[in-house]
Amino acid sequence: MKFEDNLAKLEDTVKKMESGELSLDDMIRSFEEGRKLVEMCTKELEAIRLRIEKVTKDGSIEEMKL
């Protein structure tokens, strides 16, 4: 999954949890899912940070163009 997809899913999960309409079991499942999504987003952001750091260190901005 892409970062944006994971982030959107995380935001949706948070909204459901904040609604107060979930049962305790659903709340726990949502919390577990949210933690996994946070972990995936964090890993992706770290990979992006390292890529940017490498490019700025090398001075090769052309590599960033897709």
Write down the pLDDT at residue 64: 53
Write down the pLDDT at residue 57: 82
Instruction: Name the pLDDT band for 47 (thresholds 50, 70, 90).
Output: very high
Strands (E), 1-66: none
Number of independent structural domains in the chain: 1
Entry pTM: 0.74
Q: Which positions ≥6 away from 44 have C-beta within 8 Å?
A: 3, 6
Exposure class string for 44-59: b at 16+ Cβ within 10 A, else e: beeeeeeeeeeeeeee
Question: What DSSP element (H or E) covers 4?
Answer: helix 3-19
Range of the domain at 59: 3-64
